[in-house]
């Protein structure tokens, strides 16, 4: 595959040579050539290209009147100076001389011609087709240049099969770092990848998220715009308007007029111009003509310091210009070298005739005519670019120094193949005027940028260095106070589609660009994460957030704690009731054989008191954090205990009615009731029924501790699940049915003897019980806070207290305060009065 590729490339080169070398076989000008042991080639734009229609594949003749390029001239002289210094050095390549072949590459065809010349063999001036390109030995070992990405890509593609080193001083496109396509390409100018990242950081630094983007035709501008658009979009910066200045653009033509109109209509204040110098000049002349002012212009390194751009009449009125510039470096002695060249006697300029050396693009008549007064001035931008060409020459020299084994002081002068030199250039690491020269794996230099701002405060244009950017990763360090903004009060101009939202407000995109949005507050229970400003995130289960929040807060866990004042009151009341129950049991045990205790039920009273005590004990389960045992027992034990009490109360009232009203009217029923222990049987059956309901409740609808999140957004309610279960409702309804039965039996006995008549007290206690639970369910329906267990306990405590107070307290009063009423004679007299009253009615 490699052999086939090499043959194909060779065939293409051979076809190209047919028109290139055959038509331009001339001797070059002496200034463009220097003999030496090893030759380098230099490709420099000494003249500007001229757009013209061509009908034949001929090389553009660069040396023409009016097309001289001062910038390219300084690069040309920097290489000549570098080679001269190296040849004069006793430490670098001590016994070896370098020579060069320099070419004027004013056009693409001139660039291809120069590249083919470089690849030609010494003597025959042609390119041989060989199966093994590693053994191909052209007259030149390495190439310095060319200046632009387009031309560098063409040259690199032609040289890559031969692995001939190509070190460009001006081609910065990121695509040239792809080693699979351009394995022999290196450069001394930073990669546009870092320039783009620096520009994006600069935009972010000032909060500019709404920009216009303009590039120039060609790889440099179009690839730069493409990379900038991608990285800017990834960082949340939106492109309001984007366009490319074509090669054929002219000031005032329809294409530029339309571009200016769209640029003026765009609401973006910031315009990034990623362009080469010639098209940047056309663009800014059009900007001045359209009177497009009040904007911030972000410049790429290709034109930011170019006098070709700053010399546009009226450009000082366009606004603020910031840009990325190659760090300023100087070539020591270059100015003196150019002055000496201008003073040297080069002979009279020779006219350019057909088949003369002019056609070889290795001649410069303007250069030969320079004097000390007419020579081009060496300015800052050209000096920095010239240093890159100068540095490239030294990189090749150091690579050759290592390859020839010159460390011993003597170099071995053997045959050198380009690929061998390429390997060594990748390894160079040396200081050149306090500047470290080395390349990474992609052939890019380890360098940095300056961030500059144009300054028109004086009579002439100058610039201010604001800071620098270094990599990797790319970091920006600038002093913003040095910038003179064009707006009022020297304020940083804004360039946003929509202003930032308030804290806790999400962005709702309106249109196609994420930078254009409306602000909507985040709802309760959600928050705005700074990593995603376009979507409110829900809080965690244990968190909450109010409306329009930027963060979530921990929920407060609440339950009926024992330390609260309400808890202390209820605890004291329940404990007092329990003590009263125990005291009453002791009092009844002491007076067990008295008429009051016997009329109250005798030993049955202890069961009633015990059931009330069990219900009172269950109320302690409402305090503190709910646990599984507390949830299982507190309601079920209360329901069962109160059922036993109500069963005893009901059967006690029913038994008195039977004794006094039905013993003579229904003696058979009375005897069966007494003989079969009806009272005890009823209490057992009634209590067993409630026990069955409670067991079913605990098994099927098991009350468990739970964390309730829905009721209050900022609270976690610790509670038991019994309140919303069918078992709880069945147990409550059963007790309600028993209460109604006890109430009915007590009411039927309202005319019994005074000492046996408990209708009033029992009726009052049952009514109070009903009211307590009605109040509880009413409160629970409108209040869901942490005090619901306290209200539940209060209802239970009221039921127990009313049962105890309505049935036992009157009897305790008689035993303790009216012992005269606690006698057999008093009870017999009461019965006799009841009998006489019944007989009289």
Helices (H), 480-593: 565-590
**792/245: higher pLDDT:** 245
183-237 pLDDT, tens digit each? 999 999 999 999 999 999 999 999 999 999 999 998 899 999 999 999 999 998 9
**Distance in angstroms (rounded) separating the CA atoms of residues 738 and 743:** 8
802-811 pLDDT, tens digit each? 888 888 888 8
Question: What's the confidence (pLDDT) of residue 221?
Answer: 93
Question: What's the confidence (pLDDT) of residue 755?
Answer: 52
**Distance in angstroms (rounded) separating the CA atoms of residues 293 and 296:** 9
Cα 81 to its chain centre, rounded Å, is 52
For the chain, the distance separating the N- and C-terminal CA atoms, rounded to the nearest angstrom, is 133
Q: How confident is the model at residue 397 (pLDDT cuts 50, 70, 90)?
A: very high
Q: How confident is the model at residue 6 (pLDDT cuts 50, 70, 90)?
A: very low
138-173 pLDDT, tens digit each? 989 999 989 889 999 999 999 999 999 999 999 999
**Distance in angstroms (rounded) separating the CA atoms of residues 550 and 734:** 52
**Distance in angstroms (rounded) separating the CA atoms of residues 506 and 528:** 7
Q: What is the model's pTM?
A: 0.68
CATH number of 28-49+62-190+332-346+361-438: 3.40.50.2300
Q: Does residue 353 register a pLDDT over 70?
A: no
Output Rg (C-alpha) for the chain, integer angstroms.
52
Could you tell me how many residues make up the chain?
A: 841
Average pLDDT (518-527) is 89
**Distance in angstroms (rounded) separating the CA atoms of residues 516 and 518:** 7
Q: How confident is the model at residue 799 (pLDDT cuts 50, 70, 90)?
A: confident
**Distance in angstroms (rounded) separating the CA atoms of residues 397 and 402:** 9
Average pLDDT (688-714) is 86
445-463 pLDDT, tens digit each? 988 899 999 998 888 889 9
Cis peptide before 472 (omega within 30 of 0): yes
Q: Does residue 669 register a pLDDT over 70?
A: no
Q: How confident is the model at residue 45 (pLDDT cuts 50, 70, 90)?
A: very high
Question: What's the confidence (pLDDT) of residue 309?
Answer: 92
Of the segments 22-26, 592-596, 835-839, which one has the largest average pLDDT value? Answer: 592-596
Q: How confident is the model at residue 759 (pLDDT cuts 50, 70, 90)?
A: low
Residues paired with 211 in a beta bridge = 239, 270
Q: Where are the beta strands (DSSP E) in 148-304?
A: 166-168, 185-187, 210-216, 238-245, 270-274, 295-299
DSSP state of 278: H
Cα 394 to its chain centre, rounded Å, is 45
Q: Is the dihedral of CA 610, 614, 617, 619 positive or negative?
A: negative
Q: Does residue 603 register a pLDDT over 70?
A: yes
Q: Does residue 663 register a pLDDT over 60?
A: no
Residue 194, judged by CB atoms within 10 A of its CB (0-12, 13-18, 19+), counts as buried
Residue 246, judged by CB atoms within 10 A of its CB (0-12, 13-18, 19+), counts as middle
Q: Give me the chain's average pLDDT, please.
A: 84
Sequence-distant (6+) residues with CB within 8 A of 567 are 560, 561, 623, 790
Question: What's the confidence (pLDDT) of residue 20?
Answer: 43
60-119 pLDDT, tens digit each? 888 776 788 899 999 999 999 999 999 999 999 999 999 999 999 998 889 999 999 899
Q: How confident is the model at residue 659 (pLDDT cuts 50, 70, 90)?
A: low
Q: How confident is the model at residue 758 (pLDDT cuts 50, 70, 90)?
A: low
Q: How confident is the model at residue 242 (pLDDT cuts 50, 70, 90)?
A: very high
User: Which CATH superfamily does the domain covering 192-330+448-482 fall into?
Assistant: Response regulator (3.40.50.2300)
704-749 pLDDT, tens digit each? 888 888 878 888 888 888 666 788 889 889 988 888 888 777 767 6
Would you identify the CATH topology of the domain 565-832? Rhopdopsin 7-helix transmembrane proteins (1.20.1070)
**Distance in angstroms (rounded) separating the CA atoms of residues 301 and 276:** 9
């Amino acid at each position: 595959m490699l052999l086939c590729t090499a043959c194909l490339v060779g065939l293409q080169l051979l076809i190209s040579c047919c028109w290139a070398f055959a038509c331009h076989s001339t001797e070059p000008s002496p200034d463009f050539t220097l003999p030496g042991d090893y030759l380098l080639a230099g490709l420099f734009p000494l003249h500007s290209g001229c757009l013209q229609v061509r009908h034949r594949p001929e090389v553009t003749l660069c040396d023409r009147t009016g097309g001289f390029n001062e910038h390219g001239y300084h690069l040309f002289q920097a290489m000549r100076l570098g080679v001269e210094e190296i040849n004069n050095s006793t430490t670098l390549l001590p016994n070896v001389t370098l020579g060069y072949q320099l070419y004027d590459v004013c056009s693409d065809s001139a660039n291809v011609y120069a590249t083919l010349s470089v690849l030609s063999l010494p003597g025959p001036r042609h390119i041989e087709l060989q199966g093994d390109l590693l053994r191909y030995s052209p007259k030149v070992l390495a190439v310095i240049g060319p200046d632009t990405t387009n031309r560098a890509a063409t040259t690199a593609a032609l040289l890559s099969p031969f692995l001939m080193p190509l070190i460009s001083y001006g081609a910065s496109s990121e695509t040239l770092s792809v080693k699979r396509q351009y394995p022999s390409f290196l450069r001394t100018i930073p990669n546009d990848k870092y320039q783009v990242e620096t520009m994006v950081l600069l935009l972010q630094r000032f909060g500019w998220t709404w920009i216009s983007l303009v590039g120039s035709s060609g790889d440099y501008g179009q690839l730069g715009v493409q990379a900038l658009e991608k990285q800017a979009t990834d960082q949340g910066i939106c492109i309001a308007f984007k366009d490319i200045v074509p090669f054929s653009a002219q000031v005032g033509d329809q294409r530029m007029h339309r571009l200016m109109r769209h640029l003026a209509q765009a609401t973006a204040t910031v315009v990034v111009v990623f362009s080469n110098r010639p098209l940047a000049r056309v663009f800014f002349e059009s900007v001045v003509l359209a009177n497009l002012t009040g904007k911030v212009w972000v410049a790429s390194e290709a034109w930011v310091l170019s006098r070709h751009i700053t010399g546009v009449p009226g450009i000082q009125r366009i606004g603020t210009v910031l840009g990325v510039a190659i760090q300023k470096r100087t070539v020591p002695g270059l100015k003196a070298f150019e002055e000496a060249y201008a003073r040297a006697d080069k002979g009279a300029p020779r006219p350019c005739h057909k088949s003369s050396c002019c056609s070889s693009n290795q001649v410069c008549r303007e250069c030969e005519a320079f004097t000390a007064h007419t020579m081009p001035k060496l300015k800052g931008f050209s000096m920095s670019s010239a240093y890159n060409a100068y540095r490239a020459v030294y990189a090749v020299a150091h690579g050759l120094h290592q390859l020839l084994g010159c460390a011993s002081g003597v170099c071995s002068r053997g045959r050198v193949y380009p690929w061998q030199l390429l390997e060594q250039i990748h390894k160079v690491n040396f200081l050149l005027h306090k500047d470290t020269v080395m390349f990474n794996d992609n052939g890019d230099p380890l360098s940095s940028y300056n961030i500059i701002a144009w300054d028109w405060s004086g009579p002439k244009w100058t610039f201010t260095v604001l800071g620098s950017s270094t990599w990797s990763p790319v970091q920006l360090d600038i002093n913003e106070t040095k910038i003179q903004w064009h707006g009022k009060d020297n304020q940083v101009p804004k360039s946003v589609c929509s202003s930032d939202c308030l804290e806790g407000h999400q962005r709702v995109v309106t249109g196609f660009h994420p930078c254009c949005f409306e602000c909507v507050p985040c709802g309760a229970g959600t928050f705005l994460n700074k990593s995603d400003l376009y979507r409110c995130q829900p809080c965690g289960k244990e968190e909450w957030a109010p409306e329009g929040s930027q963060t979530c807060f921990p929920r407060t866990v609440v339950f009926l704690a024992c330390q609260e004042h309400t808890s202390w009151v209820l605890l004291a009341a329940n404990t007092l009731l329990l003590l009263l129950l125990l005291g009453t049991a002791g009092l009844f045990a002491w007076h067990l054989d008295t008429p009051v205790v016997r009329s109250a039920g005798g030993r049955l009273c202890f069961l009633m008191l015990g059931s009330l005590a069990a219900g009172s004990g269950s109320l302690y389960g409402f305090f503190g954090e709910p646990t599984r045992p507390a949830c299982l027992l507190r309601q079920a034990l209360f329901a069962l205990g109160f059922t036993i009490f109500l069963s005893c109360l009901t059967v006690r009232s029913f038994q008195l009615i039977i004794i006094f009203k039905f013993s003579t009217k229904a003696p058979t029923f009375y005897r069966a009731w007494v003989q079969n222990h009806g009272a005890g049987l009823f209490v057992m059956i009634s209590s067993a029924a409630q026990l069955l309901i409670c067991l079913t409740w605990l098994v099927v609808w098991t009350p468990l501790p739970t964390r309730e999140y829905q009721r209050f957004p900022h609270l976690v309610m610790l509670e038991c699940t019994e309140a919303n279960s069918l078992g709880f409702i069945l147990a409550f309804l059963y007790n309600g049915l028993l209460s109604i039965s006890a109430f009915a039996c007590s009411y039927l006995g309202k005319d019994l003897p005074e000492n046996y008549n408990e209708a009033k007290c029992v009726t009052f206690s049952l009514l109070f019980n009903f009211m307590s639970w009605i109040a509880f369910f009413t409160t629970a329906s409108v209040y869901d806070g942490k005090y619901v267990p306290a209200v539940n306990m209060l209802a239970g405590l009221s039921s127990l207290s009313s049962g105890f107070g309505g049935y036992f307290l009157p009897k305790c009063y008689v035993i303790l305060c009216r012992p005269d009423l606690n006698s057999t004679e008093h009870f017999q007299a009461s019965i006799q009065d009841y009998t006489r009253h019944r007989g009289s009615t």
